[in-house]
Amino acid sequence: MSLTRNYHIRSVFQGTIKRNNYYFHCFVAEASIASTNFYLMGKKIATFFIFLLLIQVSYAQQPNEKAALQNQREQLKREIDQTEKLLNETKKTAKVSIGQLSLINRKMDLQGNVIDNINDQIKNLNNDIYTSQLEVNKMKRALDTLKQEYAKSMVYAYKNRSNYDFINFIFSAHSFNDAIKRVAYLKSYRSYREMQAENIVKTQTILEDKIAILSGTKKKKDIVLNEKGKELDQLSVQQKEKADIVNKLKGKQKELTSIVNAKKKQDAKLKNSIAAMIRREIEIAKAEAARKEEAARKEEARLKALKKNNDNTTAKSDAANNTTTKTNAPTPTVKHEAKPASTSVLVNTEADRALNASFEKNKGSLPWPVNGFVISHFGLNKLPGNIDYYNQGVTIGSKVGEPVKAVFDGEVTLVSYIGDNQAVYIKHGKYFTVYNNLTSVSVQKGTQVKTGQTIGRAGENDEGDNGSIDFILMKESDNVNPESWLRR
């Protein structure tokens, strides 16, 4: 009986060991699967977070662009306000003027730039929405994968939830090292499940944040679209205002034609005066160059004669002393001054070359000669009523008596009268600037002027309702667009 009982106990014990060993191998297999899943999930998570990092880098670059757009819009708004102020000043007179048309055109151009700026902002917001939606979609897929993996581990844990089985699982080990390994497997598997839960919570939090950002971006886009609508409404109002000014100007076509014809005659006088002044400067420069060349030629001839006399004296001395010994006395040599290549006779001194190079270097950054606004641009200008006018410079509207300043260092080459007002001509190397329609002048021919120095005051414009000046830039005898040289 006892033998039978012992045999039964031994069989139960062996069965338990086999069952626990089976559990162990099953657990090892499950742990291996879990480890593999953990590795694969780790790769997925790593890839996902790399994706997020790239998105964050792109977001880090966008604020600079957004800030630039915002600064540009604020600058445009300030210019629109200034133009509106000038336009209101011109409207104080009873009659409509070309200056008003110029200002409304400028205002509309600025308004168009504001709308372009808003379109750029909308484009950026659309890119943000698209990128955010990609993030949200990718995070949702990652979250679904995490939940599926966690559900699998929970099912396995539920099936093997008995503490007795885990204790038997550990104590049925063949050796102490085997038991340690089984404990390590249990800890690893528990850590894996905890990590799964933490990743799910973190991903869920990030997903909620991204959804909130996406929603905020969409709201911001709605606000910007509303702003664009308002700016388009303002542009529509300005277009109507321009149409009204154009119609009024067409109604005074005879007066406009008379004004333009008078302006053309004045421009012709100014053009002739400029051409004569430049011819004189070229003749003076040529004469100076010829004088220097003649002086250099005479000096060369003198040195040659001196050298010849020295050679003759040496020969006579050698003959008198009956010797063929040659003296080593130094003889004068002719020195030719190196002439740097110059494209203009007007630039023939070191000072002229330095001034000319400095003037060219400042293209696009020269200060405006007077505070105001452009009435007539360089080149062909078309006025209402099919009236054409070619401007050899730029006409700048301003207040009567406003200070007119030199745009760069130079020398005054001429001060002349063109009609009832005066013109100042300043040389800057091979470049000339001309300031016409001045009521008073504070410089004279030969005066050395500095950048920003007041040279006179703005006179009355052609329509007699405000002030203006004509600013002309010449490169030798050629007209150049002044606006491309002035600061924007």
Q: Are residues 367 and 398 in the same domain?
A: yes
- Tell me: the pLDDT tens digits for 124-147? 999 988 888 888 888 888 888 878
Q: Are residues 240 and 386 in the same domain?
A: no
**242/104 Cα distance (integer angstroms):** 6
Could you tell me if residue 66 is inside a domain? yes
* pLDDT in the model for residue 184: 74
Could you tell me if residue 162 is inside a domain? yes
* Degrees, nearest 5: CA angle 420-424-429: 160
* pLDDT in the model for residue 381: 92
Query: From residue 167, how far is each of 12, 20, 405 by CA, in Å?
Result: 17, 10, 98
In terms of average pLDDT, the best of 192-196, 220-224, 343-347 is 220-224
Q: pLDDT band at 65, cuts 50/70/90?
A: confident
Could you tell me if residue 165 is inside a domain? yes
Q: Are residues 184 and 56 in the same domain?
A: yes
* pLDDT in the model for residue 327: 46
Q: Are residues 55 and 195 in the same domain?
A: yes
Q: Is the pLDDT of residue 361 over 70?
A: yes
The arithmetic mean of pLDDT across residues 12-26, rounded, is 45
Q: pLDDT band at 410, cuts 50/70/90?
A: very high
Q: Are residues 190 and 275 in the same domain?
A: no
* pLDDT in the model for residue 293: 81
Q: Are residues 23 and 115 in the same domain?
A: yes
Which CATH number goes with the domain that contains 486? 2.70.70.10
- Candidate from 133-137, 414-418, 467-471 with smallest mean pLDDT: 133-137
Could you tell me if residue 306 is inside a domain? yes
**33/198 Cα distance (integer angstroms):** 20
Could you tell me if residue 323 is inside a domain? no
* pLDDT in the model for residue 450: 96
Q: Is the pLDDT of residue 41 over 70?
A: no
Q: Are residues 310 and 192 in the same domain?
A: no
Identity of residue 207: L
Identity of residue 328: N
Identity of residue 148: Q
Could you tell me if residue 332 is inside a domain? no
The kind and range of the H/E element at 416 are strand 410-418
Q: Are residues 202 and 294 in the same domain?
A: no
For the chain, how are helix, strand and coil distributed in percent, rounded to 5? 65, 15, 20
Q: Which parts of 160-175 fold into alpha helices (H)? A: 163-171
The sign of the CA dihedral 270, 276, 279, 285 is negative
Angle between helices 176-251 and 98-159 (to 10 degrees): 160
Q: Are residues 230 and 275 in the same domain?
A: no
Q: Are residues 200 and 300 in the same domain?
A: no
- Tell me: the pLDDT tens digits for 237-276? 999 999 998 998 888 888 888 888 989 999 999 999 999 9
Share of the chain above pLDDT 90, in %: 37
- Candidate from 87-101, 212-226, 287-301 with smallest mean pLDDT: 87-101
Q: Are residues 410 and 368 in the same domain?
A: yes
Q: Is the pLDDT of residue 196 over 80?
A: no
**440/10 Cα distance (integer angstroms):** 127
Among residues 359, 428, 432, the alpha carbon closest in space to that of 392 is found at 432
- Tell me: the pLDDT tens digits for 133-189? 888 888 888 888 878 877 776 776 666 555 545 556 565 667 767 667 766 766 676
Number of domains in the chain: 2
Question: Based on C-alpha coordinates, what's the Rg of the chain?
Answer: 45
- Candidate from 75-84, 309-318, 411-420 with smallest mean pLDDT: 309-318
Q: pLDDT band at 426, cuts 50/70/90?
A: very high
The sign of the CA dihedral 137, 142, 145, 146 is negative
* pLDDT in the model for residue 409: 97
Question: Residue 178 has which token pair?
Answer: 């085997």
Which of 229, 251, 273 corresponds to the end of one domain? 251
The kind and range of the H/E element at 395 are strand 394-398
* pLDDT in the model for residue 200: 80
Higher pLDDT residue, 23 or 63? Answer: 63
* pLDDT in the model for residue 150: 74
- Candidate from 224-228, 320-324, 370-374, 396-400 with smallest mean pLDDT: 320-324
Q: pLDDT band at 35, cuts 50/70/90?
A: very low
Q: Are residues 431 and 398 in the same domain?
A: yes
Which of 227, 251, 275 corresponds to the end of one domain? 251
Q: What is the secondary structure of 278-314 as a DSSP string?
A: HHHHHHHHHHHHHHHHHHHHHHHHHHHHHHHHHHHHH
Number of other CB atoms surrounding residue 67 within 10 Å:
10
Q: Is the pLDDT of residue 113 over 90?
A: yes
Angle between helices 253-320 and 176-251 (to 10 degrees): 110
In terms of average pLDDT, the best of 61-75, 293-307, 396-410 is 396-410
Could you tell me if residue 469 is inside a domain? yes
Q: What is the secondary structure of 34-53 as a DSSP string?
A: HHHHHHHHHHHHHHHHHHHH
* pLDDT in the model for residue 197: 74
What is the extent of the structural domain holding 383? 263-316+348-488
Is the Cβ–Cβ distance between 389 and 381 less than 8 Å? yes
* pLDDT in the model for residue 315: 66
* pLDDT in the model for residue 73: 83
Which of 226, 251, 276 corresponds to the end of one domain? 251
**383/99 Cα distance (integer angstroms):** 11
Q: Is the pLDDT of residue 444 over 90?
A: yes
Q: Is the pLDDT of residue 317 over 60?
A: yes
* pLDDT in the model for residue 270: 94
* pLDDT in the model for residue 87: 77
Q: Is the pLDDT of residue 373 over 70?
A: yes
Is the Cβ–Cβ distance between 437 and 445 less than 8 Å? no
Q: pLDDT band at 432, cuts 50/70/90?
A: very high
Among residues 408, 410, 473, 398, the alpha carbon closest in space to that of 437 is found at 398
CB neighbour class for 338 (10 Å; exposed up to 12, middle 13-18, buried from 19): exposed
**335/441 Cα distance (integer angstroms):** 46
- β-sheet bridge partners, residue 380: 390
Could you tell me if residue 25 is inside a domain? yes
- DSSP secondary structure code for residue 486 in this structure: B
* pLDDT in the model for residue 137: 86
Q: Is the pLDDT of residue 229 over 60?
A: yes
* pLDDT in the model for residue 168: 60
